[in-house]
Amino acid sequence: DLKRTLFPYQREGVARFLAAGCLLLADDMGLGKTAQAIASCHALFAAGAIERALVVVPASLKPQWAREWRAFTALGLTVVDGDPEARARLYRHTKSGVLLVNYEQLLRDLPLVQRFAPELVILDEAQRIKNWATKTAAVVKQLTPAWRLVLTGTPMENRLSELASIMEWVDEFAIEPRWRLSSWHAIRSDGSRDVIGARNLDTLRTRLAPHMLRRLRRDVLAQLPPRRDTRVEVAMTDAQREAHDELKQPIVTLMNKARKRPLTQGEFLRLMQLLTQQRIISNGLGLRDFVATWPDLERSRRPPAVLLATMHSPKLLELRERLAEIVVTQERKVVVFSQWRRMLRLAQWACGDVLGDAGLRAVFFTGEESQKRRTENLVAFHDDPNVRVLFATDAGGVGLNLQRAANCVVNLELPWNPAVLEQRIGRIYRLGQTQPVEIYNLVASSGIEARIVSLVGDKQALFSGLFDGTSDEVPFDSAGSFLARVEELTRPEVVIEAATLDDGGDEDVVHVPEATTEGSASTDTTAVVLPELDVTTLARALSSIDVRPLADGRIAIELPGTAATALGGLLRALAAAVERTPVSAVH
């Protein structure tokens, strides 16, 4: 009675675990290890075999696990959060059910977890215990439940000892004795301690088989659906969160004005700038501060870990892991989309060593390349087996046919408009595609992006009424509908902010800072004073715009002359905002 149906290979995985009791599930990335774990837990509770379970995951994956859990089963899940006292109360009062904790909490709360006495423990991203000497490995191995399910797509990265450390908790006899690993399986050069190969792997496979299961993507292609969309939540750093939340007050102020009267065109533009700035920050402070940071980054061709950390862009770290698995290990080609070319440049820089070490490279398809270079890059992406990644802006989301080159898309952020999202995906998910298609949407958790997801999910464009190019008129309530949707983006914080910021003064006098464009520093600017523009007139003008791709890769924009006057004020205000950034900084 799961809410979702498992694929045959997933049902096999659940059956193997239930039969073995302890299992290392090492399926390829994207094959649904989480789903198999949830189904296994569901089955054990439904059969009355267990009453208490513990799921241990990285902190950044807790929201994703909670969401997947609700999607698959009605079995209750309690997310452990709060200060030590609150967590202690939760452990004491929970007599049965499933607890979701992160590794750091397990380190601090081990005695309380042991008193909870879980009969099933699920470890996600179990490479956390690959090193015998770490505190995490030592603490996890003090848990001794009857049922143990370990999830990782990379059970061994460099040495057999890593696999042995993980398997020690799954099946302590599988690779014992530990001292024999090197002498029995390592091939050394004569008279040297250097390891030049591995041997006796058949013996190792035989010993692992009862308690380890690994399927590659190519092994189960026939069972996979034609398209799978995966939301990958990425936790923001503290610095990102602070910068993101600093923009809440001016956004709330503008939304309060919108409840009282229609926003002027300048106020509406400023609101859009502030929301866009939050989206930029969600991608990383390195994107916001691109002009200042890029010269130093460009000189460092191989990104050191410390420099990556200073970017405050966890999405870049997540992308490194995804490309390492999909492009290098699975030998597939990927299209990586972003609204901002600068984000793509940061992505290429951050992943350059991952690709370079494997003899692979990436190419661009954006508005910055000449037509000749775009054509050359497309040919290379299709025909050169070593060109595995195409970095594309939404200019690459229109008119391109990439279904014979790639079957995976990574969206570094979600666009406002679901139609744009479908255009991106439609580059590979179209007639002629012979492989299952995988879509990974990176979403910064607990910020504006997490709320955009809910608006995108209904497959209705935020500007559907305003930008419908097929109708003569757009009703006025389309604009109101948009503001209502923007209010949805801010509502959870609006209530709190309004309560804390209201000191009895006039809310209209709260200062609203100008939002800077991507990568530019805040500067004082002269306000652009324009005549009031009737919203209905603007809506009608926008609906008359026709945008279509040309055969040579360019885009044609057509509109009647009568629309020029109505659009003039908006475009001049927009130009005044974006031209703060020097042209040279955009390259």
Over 80: is that where the pLDDT of 282 sits?
yes
What are the strands, taking DSSP E only, across 262-407?
Answer: 334-337, 361-365, 387-392
Over 60: is that where the pLDDT of 497 sits?
no
Over 60: is that where the pLDDT of 564 sits?
no
pLDDT of residue 494: 32
Q: Hey, how many other C-beta atoms are within 10 angstroms of the C-beta on 566?
A: 19
At 206, is the secondary structure helix, strand, or coil?
A: helix
Q: Could you report the per-residue pLDDT of 298-317, keeping only the tens digit for each?
A: 887 677 677 788 889 999 99
Residue of 248, 134, 280 lying closest to 493 (CA atoms): 248
Over 70: is that where the pLDDT of 322 sits?
yes
Q: Could you report the per-residue pLDDT of 32-62, keeping only the tens digit for each?
A: 899 999 999 999 999 999 999 999 998 878 8
Percent of the chain residues topping a pLDDT of 70: 71
Residues making up the chain, counted from first to last: 587
Q: CATH 3.40.50.10810: which residues of the chain?
A: 8-222
pLDDT of residue 472: 34
Q: Which CATH class is domain 225-523?
A: alpha beta
Q: What is the pLDDT averaged over residues 507-527?
A: 33
**At which residue do the structure tokens 């309004």 appear?**
498
Over 60: is that where the pLDDT of 530 sits?
no
Q: Residue 226's pLDDT band (boundaries 50, 70, 90)?
A: confident
Q: What is the pLDDT averaged over residues 323-333?
A: 94
Q: What is the pLDDT averaged over residues 249-264?
A: 88
Residues ≥6 apart with Cβ < 8 Å to 343: 283, 284, 287, 412, 413
Q: Residue 252's pLDDT band (boundaries 50, 70, 90)?
A: confident
At 357, is the secondary structure helix, strand, or coil?
A: coil
Q: Which of 92-106, 108-122, 259-273, 309-323 bottoms out in mean pLDDT, i.e. has the lowest?
A: 259-273
Q: Hey, how many other C-beta atoms are within 10 angstroms of the C-beta on 423?
A: 18
Percent of the chain residues topping a pLDDT of 90: 42
Over 90: is that where the pLDDT of 25 sits?
yes
Q: What is the mean pLDDT of the chain?
A: 78
Do 112 and 82 meet the contact criterion of CB atoms below 8 Å apart?
Answer: no
Residue 527 per-residue DSSP state: -
Q: What is the pLDDT averaged over residues 415-443?
A: 84
Query: What strand order describes the sheet that includes 78-79?
Result: 78-79, 97-102, 52-57, 120-123, 147-151, 22-25, 212-213
Q: What is the pLDDT averaged over residues 436-453?
A: 86
Q: What is the pLDDT averaged over residues 491-506?
A: 34
Q: Would you list the DSSP string of 422-472? A: HHHHTTTSSTT--S-EEEEEEEETTSHHHHHHHHHTTT--TTTTTT-TT-S
pLDDT of residue 183: 65
The answer as to CATH 3.40.50.2300 being correct for domain 8-222 is no
Do 428 and 396 meet the contact criterion of CB atoms below 8 Å apart?
Answer: no
Q: CATH 3.40.50.300: which residues of the chain?
A: 225-523
Q: What is the pLDDT averaged over residues 462-487?
A: 41
Residue of 479, 488, 431, 408 lying closest to 456 (CA atoms): 488
